Chain A
């Protein structure tokens, strides 16, 4: 695969392997880098404050050690890994940290984060659990509180125009990512799932402007490719939460699958929804992050009165992606101890059945050590649908 790479993907690989390299350089130049967890943090507000949002990542190859002395092992292993790396000072270039109410583990461990790490800024964003008029009003107010706390931290007022500008930049960013997904539509795809995941993972460690430039370069490079880095194989959609390490996707592709679509947090869940431009910027952001980011943590009322109608409305995006990217099968890859996703497994299974997409459900522990066990199951699945 490496001989197919040009300069842009080499840069991606460099930043992927040394995650945070660019942020460290920027920190030395006096920039404020603000760490965050989860797709619920409105990056537009962080950027409008003149700070650089940086997604804190775990590492499936590093055993969790110090983190376990402060946080229970019943926390989702992905989140534990993020915490472990943080308390081991992997992210000591951060000036602050923002944690939203993405799940119980985030709420209940907030004190452990904010008392154990030496950052001068910490903020928790309360995300409503339901969608509706009063939730939207509440979330507007909560985002304004976030805005004020950043203003206090940076000593700089965030004007509506600043927000409108960052909203436009992040929308451009999402459009560019969407354009990259277009390369997945050919058979075999022009860009592998492994490459795309690396690009998106790296992107969340860069200032959005630099990420946009990198996306342009990667797109040009892929455009110029004469052939796919993958052989034709079953076209797979990955469904699940945050997958910020390439091990699983690379495994699927090593054994003949083509990962062409996803619903993951550092993928379509986060990058596909745009923010409305032109109105009250805070309200538009509240609308995007609460209503448009399709996370199982947000309860969506069954307005149909039937189970079939309910799952079609909750998981309809999966069906759309399956058609759009001509998916042959899906892998629902979840972490142990993840309540928001875990309770949806029977309903998600039923939905996949209703749209005739074969499904493999895997529960894992965010460790590279489990890949050989998963290999057999994934291989059997690919053979079954291939």
Chain B
């Protein structure tokens, strides 16, 4: 096993914003803080996952979350995941499974075998938790299997698994017909989490503090929405490459003043850039949307390659895990747990009503259509990570549905003046293929060839439109 072999250090991606450039140190800080907390034993540490709407509960009870997907991503970005993936494979786990989980399980097994961090662990490594909070969400099987598998190597670490379902979109049904019992269930699951944490920490939940943190998160959600909407500007001041950095406060720092302040600063920075007419790229020729898929963390410089061709990314569906609360049709409540449950349902059903109004649409497709129009998108890029079904199954079908609307032939219509209008609505798409952290799945040459061909198509479309 090549446990000691590491890939060459990756090139650093160039960022367009100061805010994105500051993220590396933030991530490093919360990883090293967790290691320090483990040594001091003053606060409890919990393995957990992003997008569970439970950060407020954690932080109210002074529990430090260890974002295991984040650590796997760091290993990937530093091109140092392979030795942990191989460890997991040697246990009998197939490389076709979620590689975040494989990396995490391989790391845990190694750390527990050694009784200390594996040699040269990225950013000091991932400390052993006091407990693990997994989530059997409707959208990710590995989340309820990962910690169960890791528990083999640390049987003394208990797991609490919260179930967070949401009603799947069904064209012939109003989701509000069923969401009452969904809400009731999620509330019970979250209250169960509170009870579990109270038992583990031997502290009672401070509901006033929880209410304050929920309010802080809500304000942060709205602020993020306002900030990201600024990217509609032409030229676009910040692209998806940067958003893969600014996802950190969205997903790992929610319910903190630091996350709120981060977006205050980012918003200010984007407003200044827009006032000066500064774009992500010097001469913006194409506006693209990252329409689905987690990024290849080891190849984020591919965004710079796009940029070098004049392509900017004003929008992405990945990791923008917030929606404007004032546009959500959810009941008012003073109970913070009930609000968290409503916010969960409001987020996941956000596009349902709009999707129903458009023939052939569906929530994920509807979001693409809306953002294509609002952000003036010329093409879609997606990434198929082979090891993750959660975020990557259904992307081809979404493009298939989109192609019914954005056809590769001109649309003709008669304008008010009685003259014939010709509109090109063609929207080319590109699917990149590799993985989130398994670099063996990636070919830089093939990727660049695909990007070059895609840019050639975009250019041809651009010339057609001009003509």
Q: Give the interface of A toward B (CB within 8 A).
A: 69-72, 74-75, 101, 103-105, 107-112, 114-116, 122-124, 126, 128-130, 132, 134-135, 137-138, 141-142, 145, 149, 296-297, 299, 301-302, 305-307, 310, 334, 336-337, 339-340, 342-347, 349-350, 361, 363
Given pairs A116-B397, A129-B144, A307-B152, 5 additional interface contacts (CB within 8 A): A71-B396, A74-B389, A305-B156, A337-B389, A347-B149
For A350, the chain B residues whose CB sits under 8 A away are: 152
Q: Quick check: B389 and A343 within 8 Å, CB to CB?
A: no
Of residues 383 to 405 in B, which have CB atoms within 8 Å of A's CB atoms? 384, 386-390, 392-397, 400-401
Q: Does B285 contact A (CB under 8 A)?
A: no
For A305, the chain B residues whose CB sits under 8 A away are: 155-156
**Closest chain B residue to A149 by CB distance?**
B173
Shortest C-beta distance, B188 to chain A (Å), equals 4
Of residues 166 to 185 in B, which have CB atoms within 8 Å of A's CB atoms? 167-171, 173, 177-178, 181-182, 184-185
Q: Quick check: B400 and A70 within 8 Å, CB to CB?
A: yes
Complex Cα spacing A251 to B209, Å: 63
Q: Quick check: A130 and B163 within 8 Å, CB to CB?
A: yes
Binds A, one of B95-103, B257-265, B314-322: B95-103
Q: A104-B141, A111-B169, A339-B145 are in contact. Are A346 and B181 (CB under 8 A)?
A: no
Complex Cα spacing A297 to B145, Å: 8
Q: Quick check: B92 and A138 within 8 Å, CB to CB?
A: no
For A101, the chain B residues whose CB sits under 8 A away are: 138, 165
Chosen A-B contacts, 7 in total, with CB atoms closer than 8 Å, are A129-B137, A138-B165, A138-B185, A145-B177, A342-B97, A343-B97, A345-B93
Shortest C-beta distance, B105 to chain A (Å), equals 8
Q: Quick check: B397 and A307 within 8 Å, CB to CB?
A: no
Residue picked from A74, A112, A116, A347, most chain B C-beta under 10 Å: A74
Complex Cα spacing A342 to B139, Å: 17
Q: Quick check: A124 and B185 within 8 Å, CB to CB?
A: no
For A149, the chain B residues whose CB sits under 8 A away are: 173
Complex Cα spacing A345 to B189, Å: 28
Q: Quick check: A107 and B145 within 8 Å, CB to CB?
A: no
Complex Cα spacing A142 to B92, Å: 36
Residue picked from B96, B151, B400, most chain A C-beta under 10 Å: B96
Q: A105-B389, A299-B136 are in contact. Are A337 and B397 (CB under 8 A)?
A: no
Interface string of B104-120 (1 = CB under 8 A from A): 00000000000000000
Q: Quick check: B96 and A342 within 8 Å, CB to CB?
A: yes
Residue from A111, A122, A342 in contact with B93 in the complex, judged by beta carbons closer than 8 Å? A342
Complex Cα spacing A213 to B52, Å: 49
Complex Cα spacing A138 to B186, Å: 9
Q: A103-B141, A129-B144, A361-B92 are in contact. Are A339 and B155 (CB under 8 A)?
A: no
Q: Does B347 contact A (CB under 8 A)?
A: no
**Closest chain B residue to A72 by CB distance?**
B393
Q: Quick check: A301 and B159 within 8 Å, CB to CB?
A: yes
Q: Quick check: A302 and B151 within 8 Å, CB to CB?
A: yes
Q: A104-B139, A124-B168, A310-B155 are in contact. Are A112 and B145 (CB under 8 A)?
A: no
Q: Quick check: B397 and A111 within 8 Å, CB to CB?
A: yes
Q: Does B24 contact A (CB under 8 A)?
A: no
Q: Quick check: B165 and A126 within 8 Å, CB to CB?
A: yes
Complex Cα spacing A305 to B103, Å: 25
Q: Quick check: B145 and A108 within 8 Å, CB to CB?
A: no
Q: A108-B139, A299-B136 are in contact. Are A343 and B148 (CB under 8 A)?
A: yes
Q: A72-B393, A104-B393, A343-B145 are in contact. Are A111 and B188 (CB under 8 A)?
A: no
Q: Quick check: B97 and A339 within 8 Å, CB to CB?
A: yes
Residue from A107, A134, A363 in contact with B139 in the complex, judged by beta carbons closer than 8 Å? A107
Complex Cα spacing A270 to B97, Å: 25
Q: Quick check: B141 and A340 within 8 Å, CB to CB?
A: yes
For B392, the chain A residues whose CB sits under 8 A away are: 72, 74, 108
For A334, the chain B residues whose CB sits under 8 A away are: 94
Q: Quick check: A130 and B161 within 8 Å, CB to CB?
A: yes
For A103, the chain B residues whose CB sits under 8 A away are: 141, 389
Q: Does B142 contact A (CB under 8 A)?
A: yes
Residue picked from A69, A141, A339, most chain B C-beta under 10 Å: A339
Shortest C-beta distance, A367 to chain B (Å), equals 15
Q: Does B360 contact A (CB under 8 A)?
A: yes
For A104, the chain B residues whose CB sits under 8 A away are: 139-141, 389-390, 393
For B145, the chain A residues whose CB sits under 8 A away are: 296, 299, 339-340, 343-344
Shortest C-beta distance, B280 to chain A (Å), equals 29
For A134, the chain B residues whose CB sits under 8 A away are: 185, 188-189, 192
Q: Quick check: B364 and A111 within 8 Å, CB to CB?
A: yes
**Closest chain B residue to A340 by CB distance?**
B141
Q: Quick check: A71 and B152 within 8 Å, CB to CB?
A: no
**Closest chain B residue to A103 by CB distance?**
B141
Q: Quick check: A343 and B161 within 8 Å, CB to CB?
A: no
Q: Which 4 A-B pairs have the closest CB atoms?
A: A129-B136, A343-B145, A108-B393, A134-B188
Complex Cα spacing A63 to B184, Å: 45
Q: A115-B360, A302-B151, A302-B159 are in contact. Are A108 and B390 (CB under 8 A)?
A: yes
Q: Quick check: B389 and A75 within 8 Å, CB to CB?
A: yes
Of residues 358 to 409 in B, which have CB atoms within 8 Å of A's CB atoms? 360, 362, 364, 384, 386-390, 392-397, 400-401
Q: Quick check: B159 and A346 within 8 Å, CB to CB?
A: no
For A130, the chain B residues whose CB sits under 8 A away are: 136, 144, 161-163
**Closest chain A residue to B93 by CB distance?**
A345
For B152, the chain A residues whose CB sits under 8 A away are: 307, 346-347, 350
Q: Quick check: A129 and B163 within 8 Å, CB to CB?
A: yes
Q: Quick check: B92 and A299 within 8 Å, CB to CB?
A: no
Q: Does B30 contact A (CB under 8 A)?
A: no
**Closest chain A residue to B192 by CB distance?**
A134
For B401, the chain A residues whose CB sits under 8 A away are: 115
Shortest C-beta distance, B171 to chain A (Å), equals 7
Q: Quick check: A343 and B185 within 8 Å, CB to CB?
A: no
Q: Does B414 contact A (CB under 8 A)?
A: no
Interface string of B53-96 (1 = CB under 8 A from A): 00000000000000000000000000000000000000111101
Q: Quick check: A343 and B142 within 8 Å, CB to CB?
A: yes
Q: Quick check: A70 and B136 within 8 Å, CB to CB?
A: no
Q: Does B424 contact A (CB under 8 A)?
A: no
For A296, the chain B residues whose CB sits under 8 A away are: 145
Q: Quick check: A342 and B138 within 8 Å, CB to CB?
A: no
For B98, the chain A residues whose CB sits under 8 A away are: 339
Shortest C-beta distance, A350 to chain B (Å), equals 7
Shortest C-beta distance, A5 to chain B (Å), equals 38
For B397, the chain A residues whose CB sits under 8 A away are: 70-71, 109, 111-112, 115-116
Q: Quick check: B171 and A114 within 8 Å, CB to CB?
A: yes
Q: Quick check: B94 and A342 within 8 Å, CB to CB?
A: yes
Q: Quick check: A105 and B393 within 8 Å, CB to CB?
A: yes
**Closest chain B residue to A308 by CB distance?**
B155
Shortest C-beta distance, A374 to chain B (Å), equals 16
Q: Quick check: B163 and A135 within 8 Å, CB to CB?
A: yes
Residue from B170, B177, B384 in contact with A123 in the complex, judged by beta carbons closer than 8 Å? B170
Q: Quick check: B170 and A343 within 8 Å, CB to CB?
A: no
Q: Does B442 contact A (CB under 8 A)?
A: no
Q: Does B134 contact A (CB under 8 A)?
A: yes
